[in-house]
Structure formats: structure tokens, C-alpha cells
Amino acid sequence: MSAVNTPSPAGATSGLGALAPPPARGSWPAVVAVAFGIFSIVTTEILPIGLLTSIGDAYAVSDGTAGLTMTLPGFVAAVAAPLVTVATSRFDRRRMLAAFLLLLALANFLAAAATSYWLVLVSRVLVGITIGGFWSVGAGLARRLVPARTAGRATAVIFAAVPVGSVLGVPLGTLIGDTAGWRTAFAAMGGFTLATCALLVLTVPALPASATTRPAVLRAALRGPGAGVALALTFLLVLAHFGAYTYVTPFLEQVTRAGPDLITVALLVFGAAGTAGTFLGAAAVGRSPRAAFAAAAALLSLATLSLPALGGSTVGALGLLALWGLAYGAVPVCSSASFARAAPAAPEAASVLFTASFQATISLGALLGGVVVDRHSASLALTAAGLTAAAAVLVACWKRPA
């Protein structure tokens, strides 16, 4: 997930309560540590995409069943995001962030050592708890780590870890999996997460709780103007994306006849295009979130509808994956900005709604895509994704009658 949130001014108040003032001087190593934490989470969450076939072969399960490794974390994170935000509103944020990174490291090591598939799924439940908790606690910390004048830049650095996780983390994990086995990829991610946790403990100062998010605040944010449209567009586009992208490796193997090296290159191309899409989306969303949403949906629909026909060639597959990545890179930015506009007085509540809706739909998309792949083919999953994205174009262009 990706978002660029505008930090609140120092000393501002909202429905969340009084915010602690930022420190007198910057703490950029702490910002980098939080960014590494986001990178670890994003990479761990989507790492199975590049390893799906290997995981399935190890336990003799289908691609659709192996796709549960993508389904479970999102569902758990969707529940954990609001629960953790409310339950931990009075805890020191540094301790919470460190605890969640330790949990993530444990999840990676458990996946690496799992002797049965159900243990892999248990590890993915732990990943989901980490996602919901770390995002809810850490997403808005930039304003408490650096002075107000540089808080926007610090927030951008933290959230830049999301596309970087796609650009570097997943292809690198896939490469490790292809050369040393998928278990080694998870073990390496566990080691990296432990190192990140140590960096965070060393650089992030004590951060006593400074705001209280109550259930009533979350409900009010959900009823904000534009929240319904934000939910609908987020649902349709994330459903379309993860219903197809979760199974892009089987598609490339079966239709493009790609080997491990080409699959790694394809994921790298997708991630690089996604990074560009994130920055383009951030530039466009300030002018018109709906127009940016509509453009992203149209490009995503075009790419996924064209892949079954043109993805048999390497050039066609790579070109359309680049277009797909460019389109999807803008989606999290558009979604986050839309929720923020719906609840301008409660930025943390808006962040929770964004996280919960995004993660729940990731899971549903992976689940439904798995059903289609198991019963039909990965190509049909791509076609279904394209039609779903086309529906999002209609929603984005719809204007409520006066």
C-alpha cells in the first residue's frame, strides 16, 4: 500500500485529541528506520506472488490454494487496523513498532521452517496482524520525528518504501527463491526484519501516545462526504488488481512460457512502472482525485484485458505489465487522498479506513482470483480483472444528480 498524507501542523487538535509537538530538531535516521519497517512489511506481504508455484509444489497444493498466502494477511490486517488503533492508543509508539517488527520476523522464520502448509498459513496470519498494527501506528509518525517544515518530505520518504518494496523486494526475493529455494527467501526476509527492528530501537525516540482514536471517530469518518465513493473505487480497483496480479507468475509460465529469469525481469518492470505511477498519481490527485482514479482504472482495464491476447510474446507481456504497473501505482495514492478528503478533521481515522478497506479487498481479490484460476485459467482471471476495472471507470465518472 502507498499513501502520501499531509501532516497536521504542530499543536493542532482534531477528533483524535491533541497532538504532541514535533521535536526541536530532525531525526532522519528514525524516519529511515520507519521506512525500512514499511519496506519489510510490503515485501513480506507480497513475497508469495513471485514464489507461488514453488510454495504450491512444496506442499502439493494448487495455485489457487497457494494463493491463500496472499488472502489471509489482508483479511487479518483489515480487522487488526481499527482494533489495534483503538486498543493501543495509549501505548508508546516506538515499543509498538518494535513489537510488530519482531512479530514479522517470527512470521518469516516460521514460513521458512514450516513442515506443513497450515504452518505457512499461521505465519501469514502473523503477517496480517503486523500489517494492520504497524500501518495504523506508524503511518502518521513523520510529524513527530522531524520539525513541521520537513514533515511532508519525511512522510514521502516513509511511503516511498511501498513502491520500492515492489521494485526491489519482490524480484530480489523471487531471485533468491529461484537460486536457493523459497524457504531461503523467507529466512532472508526474517533476518532483514530483525536488523530493521534493531535500527528502529536505536534511532526512534520514545513516543508516548498523544492522541486517542475512539470508535465514534472511525464511524464519523466513514460517514464523511465522499467516503462511499472512495470505498467503491478502492474496492473495485484493488479487487481487480489482486484478483489477477496474485497469479501473474502462473500466467507468465503458462501463456508467455517464461522461465525464472524472465519472470524476475517482468516483476521488476512492473515494480519500476508502479513507482512512476505512484509519483504521477500523487501529482494528479491534487487536481482531481476522481479523474486520477478514472485514468488509473482505464489503463488497468486496458492492460489486463489485452494480456490474454498479447501476452504470449515477451515484448507484449512486458509492455502490458509496464502499463499495468503504471496504472496500479496511482491507485493507493488516489484512495488515500480520497479518504483524507472525506475525513479532514480525523487523519488517523482516515488512515485506518484506507488500510482496512485496502487490505480486506486484497484478500478478497486473491481469493476470488484463486477460484477462477483453479476452475478455469489465469487468463480468465485477467479478463475478469479488466471488466472489474472498467466498472471502476464508470463509478469514477458518475456524477450524483443534483
Predicted confidence at residue 14, as pLDDT, reads: 33
Rounded to two decimals, the pTM is 0.72
C-alpha–C-alpha distance, residues 380 and 357, integer Å: 25
Residue 261 burial class via C-beta count within 10 angstroms: exposed 0-12, middle 13-18, buried 19 and up = exposed
Q: What is the tens place of the pLDDT at every residue in 135-156?
A: 777 766 767 787 767 766 676 6
Residues 6+ positions from 313 with CB-CB distance below 8 Å: 256
- CA–CA distance from 94 to each of 201, 258, 279, 294, 340 (Å)? 7, 44, 29, 38, 25
Q: Is the CB of residue 297 less than 8 Å from the CB of residue 245?
A: no
Q: What is the pLDDT of residues 66-86, one digit of tens each?
A: 878 877 888 888 888 888 777
pLDDT of residue 221: 62
- Name the residue with cell 485514468: 295
- Cell numbers 482494533 label which residue? 83
Smallest Cα–Cα separation from 189: which of 89, 109, 250?
Answer: 109
**Cα end-to-end distance, the chain, whole Å:** 34
* pLDDT recorded at residue 122: 93
Give the sign of the dihedral formed by CA 335, CA 123, CA 82, CA 368. positive
Q: State phi, psi for 47 to the nearest 5 degrees.
A: -55, -40
Q: Compute mean pLDDT per 10 residues along the chain, 402 residues long, and list them.
A: 36 35 60 90 85 84 79 83 76 87 96 92 93 77 73 68 72 82 92 95 81 63 69 86 84 84 83 81 76 89 91 88 88 76 65 73 77 82 90 79 40
Give the length of the chain: 402
pLDDT of residue 212: 59
Which run of H or of E encompasses 259?
none
pLDDT of residue 52: 78
DSSP states of 57-83: HHHT--HHHHTHHHHHHHHHHHHHHHH
Q: Provide the pLDDT for residue 13.
A: 33
Give whole-number Cα distances, 303 to 40, 256, 318, 325, in Å: 28, 15, 11, 9
